[in-house]
Amino acid sequence: MLLNSSSLWTLTGRLDEAAASLEEALRLFRTFGDRRREAEALGGLGTLLLSLRRVDESIAVLEEAVDLLGEHGTPLVTARALSNLGNALSAAGRFGDAIARYGRSLAMFRELDDWYGVAFAAGRLGVTLHEAGRPEEAVQPLTQAIEACRAGGERDGEAQGYLALGSVLTDTADHTGALQAFEQALALYHDLGNGTGLVTAMRALGTTYERLGDAAGAAEHLFFAGLLHSGEGMPAIRADEEGNRRKGRPGPWRRLRARFGRSSRGATPSPDPASPPPSSGRRDDPKETA
C-alpha cells in the first residue's frame, strides 16, 4: 500500500510525500526482515532523493541499495540502481565514480539483452566521459547507445544520441564526423516532427560550418534555426522560397529538405519544399531508469 502511495505521489509531482511513503515502507520491510523489498525500496528512495536535489543523501541510499541488491535483488533491478547511482555521482561531480557505475550497469544490461538499459547506460557513460574531459573515449559508448535506440525503434533517443556524438566529435576536432552526426539528428527530428530538436540540430550544424570556415553553410543553418525558433518563422520561410522560385533557383530550405531523404532511413520528404515539419517538441531529456 505504501509503495502504491509513493508511486501515486510521484506521478502527481509530490516528491516529498513520495519519499516519505518510501521511508515508511523501508522501515516496515526492515522490521519484517524482507531484504529484497528493502533493497528495492532503497533504490526507489535514492532516485527520488536525486530528483529532490538531495544529492549526497541520494548517493548514500543508492550505494546501500546496490550492495543489498547484489545479494537479494534481480540483475535487472540491480543494473537500474547502478545507473541511477551513476546519475547521482555525476550530479556530485564525481565523474570517475559515475563512469565506473555506468560501466557495470552497461555490462549487466548487455547480459540481460535489454536494449533500453543498454541505450541509457551507454548514453550516460558517453556523456559523462565527455564531461570528464575524455571525448575520445566517449565516441564508442555513444555509438552503442545510438545502435541500441535504433534496434528498439526509439528514434527520439537515437536523435539525442547523434546530437551528443556530434558534440563529442567537435571536441576531438573531427568536424566532418560532427557534421554527419548532426545531419542524422536533423533528419530524425524532421521525421518525428520535433520542432525543438530540429532547431537544436540546425544550430549545431550552423556552428560546425562556422568552425570549418564555411560562412554560407553557417548562415544558411543559423538563419533557419532562428526562423523556426521564432513565431514568425514559417511565413518568412515561405516568402523566401517564393522569392527564389520566381528567380528560377532553389532556395536554401529546398536544398536542406532535399537532404532529408538521403540522411534518414525511410524518410519521405514532403512534396512542398516550403512547408517544414510541424513543431511538436516531444521530450527534451531521456528519463532516468526507475
Specify the residue for cell string 556523456. 127
Residue pair 54/23 in contact (Cβ under 8 Å)? The answer is no
- The confidence score (pLDDT) of residue 251 equals 56
Q: CA–CA distance from 190 to each of 10, 34, 139, 165, 181 (Å)?
A: 33, 50, 24, 18, 14
Q: What is the DSSP letter of 276?
A: P
Q: Give the pLDDT of the chain (290 residues) as one tens digit per residue.
A: 444 445 544 545 667 777 888 888 888 999 899 999 999 999 999 999 999 999 999 999 999 999 999 999 999 999 999 999 999 999 999 999 999 999 999 999 999 999 999 999 999 999 999 999 999 999 999 999 999 999 999 999 999 999 999 999 999 999 999 999 999 999 999 889 888 898 999 999 999 999 999 998 888 888 888 777 765 555 555 566 666 677 766 555 555 555 544 444 433 333 333 333 333 333 334 334 43
Q: Which three cell numbers stand for residue 248?
A: 528560377
CA quadruple 122, 60, 63, 135: dihedral, nearest 10? 20
Among 138, 192, 193, smallest CA distance to 166 is for 138
